[in-house]
Amino acid sequence: MLSINGLRASIDGKEILKGINLEIKPGEVHAIMGPNGSGKSTLASVLAGREEYEVTAGTVTFDGKDLLELAAEQRAAEGIFLAFQYPVEIPGVTTINFLKTAVNEIRKYNGEEPLDAARFLKMVREKAKLVSMNDSLLKRALNEGFSGGEKKRNEIFQMAVLEPKLAILDETDSGLDIDALRIVAEGVNSLRSPERSAIVVTHYQRLLDYIVPDFVHVLYKGRIVKSGGKELAFELEEKGYDWIKAEVEAQEVN
């Protein structure tokens, strides 16, 4: 489904991603962990099509298409969704109106008729219930004045509405209380299917109790330096990153 090969990316002349290789098959969930500043959000942004980052080497294919050739909105229409680490506040645009535009623009891209208002509302209500999203939030300006947890929940709600093939969750768990964490995880799990995949960026093993990953990767200094099964997350939780950093440094010396 997603195949990343030798991906390098920089911003303002500073290289952040230094050769990423990652293969994600349909139905798989990959967790990405790693110390602060190692490039996790950068990878997520590059995949979603943020133009500020310059891709200097490597390829990314998604369902056989050259992802790097596509604009952000085309990637979304192809089925990529990024739940932002820091969702943006958009004054004056209600969540509901925003989503309606998004849904219909994606349908247009895929040659489908726009959803009529009634069907759209019905669908949105169902999805809102799924993530226990309060109706009143939908009528407010997108993320404006939302609490940290409400913003994160809104990301998952949008994901549920857009039903992406590949969801990239960038620290969706941080700032959530225990109940919200469970709700968010249920939202993600309800989307799991043999065709859908996810990349879950997190600092905490806790989330992975709810969203059980097939693989865990450690990103450090712009590279994936270690990969394993879900038990790797436990190991990291217990031992921190020092041992991995030491391993990397030892290799750099060699």
Partner 1 sequence: MSTETIDLRTKLITDFHARESVMNGEAKSAFHQKKRAAFTQFETLGFPTPKNEEWKYSNVRDLISASYNFNTSDTLSAEDLIDLKMPEQAANILYFVNGHYNPALSTVVSSTDQIIIDSLQNAYKNNPDLVNSYFDELVKNDSDAFTSLNTAFAHDGVFIYVPNNQTVEHPVILRFVSDARVENVASQPRNIIAVGKNAHVKIAEAFRTIGDERSFTNVVTEINVGEEAGVEYYKVQNESENAYHIGTTQVRMLEKSHFYAATVTLNGKFTRNNLNIVIDGEHCEAHMYGLYFPDGTQHVDNHTVADHSKPNSESNELYKGILRDKSKGVFNGKIFVRPDAQKTNAFQSCKNIVLSNDATMYTKPQLEIFADDVKCSHGTTTGQIDEEALFYMRSRGISKAEAMSLLMFAFCADVVSQIKIDSIREYLENVIAEKLSRK
Check residue 12 for interaction with ligand ATP (CB under 6 A). yes
CB of residue 32 to ligand ATP, shortest distance in Å: 9
Residue bearing tokens 């309060």: 134
Q: Which of 2, 28, 41, 172 is in the footprint of Mg ion by CB under 5 A?
A: 41
- CA–CA dist 217, 34 (Å, integer): 8
Check residue 92 for interaction with partner 1 (CB under 8 A). yes
Query: Which is it for strands 90-94 and 141-142: parallel, antiparallel or unpaired?
Result: antiparallel
CB of residue 73 to partner 1, shortest distance in Å: 5
The region of 81-89, 97-105, 128-136, 190-198 touching Mg ion under the rule CB under 5 A is 81-89
Could you tell me how many residues of this chain bind partner 1 (CB under 8 A)? 33
- Please give the C-alpha separations between residue 237 and each of 46, 205, 209, 213, 232, in angstroms, as whole numbers: 27, 6, 12, 15, 9
Are 193 and 224 in contact, with CB atoms under 8 Å apart? no
Check residue 158 for interaction with partner 1 (CB under 8 A). yes
211 closest CA partner among 236, 186, 179, 175:
186
Could you tell me how many residues of this chain bind Mg ion (CB under 5 A)? 3
Structure tokens at 127: 């999805």
Give the per-residue contact string, 60-99, with ligand ATP (x = CB under 6 A; - = no).
Answer: -------------------------x--------------
CB of residue 254 to partner 1, shortest distance in Å: 40
Sequence-separated (6 or more) residues with CB below 8 Å from residue 124? 96, 99, 138, 161
Check residue 42 for interaction with ligand ATP (CB under 6 A). yes
Binding residues for ligand ATP (CB under 6 A): 11-12, 14, 16, 34, 36-42, 85
